[in-house]
Amino acid sequence: MGKIKNALISVSDKENLRVVLEVLKKNKINVISSGGTYKSIKKLGFKCKEISEYTEFKEMLEGRVKTLHPKIHSGILFKRDNKIHREQMKKKQFDRIDLVIVNFYPFEKTIKTTSNKKKIIENIDIGGPTMVRAAAKNAEYVTIITDKQDYSELVKELNKLKGGTTYDFRKRMACKAFGLTAYYDAIVSEWFNRDVGLEFPERKTFFGKKIGELRYGENPHQRSSMYVNSLENDDINLKQISGKDLSYNNYNDIFAGLDILFSDLKSPSTVIIKHANPCGVSSNKSALQSFLNAQASDPISAFGGIVACNYKINFKIANEINKTFFEVILAKGFEKKALSVLKKKKNMRIIDISKYNYETKTTSKFFDGAFLMQEKDNLVFDKKKIKCVTKNKPSRKELKDIEFAFRVCKYVKSNAIVIVKDSSTIGIGAGQQNRLDSCRLATHKAKKFQPKHLINSIAASDAFFPFADGIETLINAGVKTIVQPGGSIRDKEVIKAANKSKVKMLFTRIRHFNH
């Protein structure tokens, strides 16, 4: 490309400008700028021409129009080896602009610090993204820098090539630039969608900022990274206190645990997750008891899982946790004595979730060339529409457990059967291809680990029973109350089997598939 003649600098974040200005001065590259950037450059003691002087057009509309001028964009966009372009530039007496350094108005920061819509809209950058896109499009001739982290590499290029840059460098910076404009526009779009309550727009763009590479994905041969996708936070707000780096599988289990913890459980509760499925869930007035009950639900599966708590972990609970191998401990804070106990296991990840925000109203699943979006499953059931379809009716105490069981069902992979007693799971059948196998699995686990609690227990099913064999398996194990959506063509047959065994059955008319 040869030596850079003119550089245009227009940045909201003015940090570290000196190092760039020094190398531009050294290589006798002219600098053009505007507004606050112009003042900062002059204050640093470097020569600079103001854009309004360069274009002979004063900025207007309170600064909304500064760089949107043919002289600027022609200087950026023209093809240096195109005869027609050169003639047109010469006729207009427009000069080339070979280096563009731009970062945008802080729209992302603004929406996180104010709800003033006028201020937010004024922080939507127009001129900046336009210049960035123009420079990135013309990367064959123009260098575009959008990240101050790239200043050092730019300096190396300019020093090495005596005021020029390589095509490889320009292409990499152009790639990064288009990533930034897409990210920026996606955030603006998402803010507008949420402002008007539009959850499923005609066109949907996801934004994400990389916050770190993971050791590997689900398996060692797969690469993986973590991104933050939030209008409210710059990070995922999971404060790791100690332990090894988190893996892809750790995060997958963590988010499964947080999903249950933050959306559906209020009193002191413990969730133990293994392979993104709950293997133990318990709510209790005693935080310690909630942990013990959750672990007792399936102690074999709990081994090597993650523990998620919506309370502060104390010394007693920490001692109980340390009796078993867990990959991750999540809690709303840790007492000092508790930390001294937990940190004895150096590899175990200890994470404070006190500042974690449960933000979005939708969930997404990505496939090769498509994705699905849906509303989060925030409904348990309508208490006014739930109907007892058997002769025997549940008590108020049983209704509490019925709701707890059906609530947990939402987070168990389908087909799902959840058996509970006293707001604690005692058997979970998850992810089976038929409901009968889920019933067998749930009752098998309950018989193995919680046989005393099986008698008069309550079972929930995420969908209807297509045949009576599933409820018969539950009844024979000791279940006395069953809650399910209903809706099978064999509902009468299923109700008849329930009445014959004198169990209670409720229909919710709400299904909770979780695939």
Q: Which residues are catalytic?
A: 137, 275
Are 247 and 229 a contacting pair, CB within 8 Å?
no
Q: What are phi and psi of 287, to 5 degrees?
A: -60, -40
CA distance 86 to 65: 27
List all residues 6 or more positions away from 245 whose beta carbon is below 8 Å from its beta carbon: 214, 215
Token pair, residue 214, equals 């993971």
Triad 321, 322, 328: Cα angle to 5°: 65
Give the rounded distance of the alpha carbon of 309 from its chain centre. Answer: 20
Beta bridge mates, 240: 351
CA distance 312 to 349: 16
Over its C-alpha atoms, the chain yields an Rg (Å, rounded) of: 31
Are 456 and 475 a contacting pair, CB within 8 Å?
no
Residue 73: CA count within 13 A, CB half-sphere: 14
DSSP, residue by residue, 457-481: EEEEESS--SSTHHHHHHHHHTEEE
Token pair, residue 16, equals 């570290």
Residue 345: CA count within 13 A, CB half-sphere: 19
Token pair, residue 171, equals 């292409």
Dihedral angle computed from the Cα positions of residues 10, 14, 15 and 20, in that order, rounded to the nearest 10 degrees: 40
Are 479 and 465 a contacting pair, CB within 8 Å?
no
CA distance 210 to 232: 16
Helix (H, G, I), strand (E, B) or coil at 336: helix
Residue 488: count other Cβ atoms within 10 Å of its Cβ: 16
3-state helix, strand, coil in the chain (%, to 5): 40, 20, 40
Question: How far separated are the first and last CA of the chain, in Å rounded?
Answer: 54
Are 417 and 450 a contacting pair, CB within 8 Å?
no
Q: Which helix (H) or strand (E) holds 409?
A: helix 396-409
Identify which of 296, 274, 298 has the alpha carbon closest to the alpha carbon of residue 284: 296
CA distance 361 to 450: 36
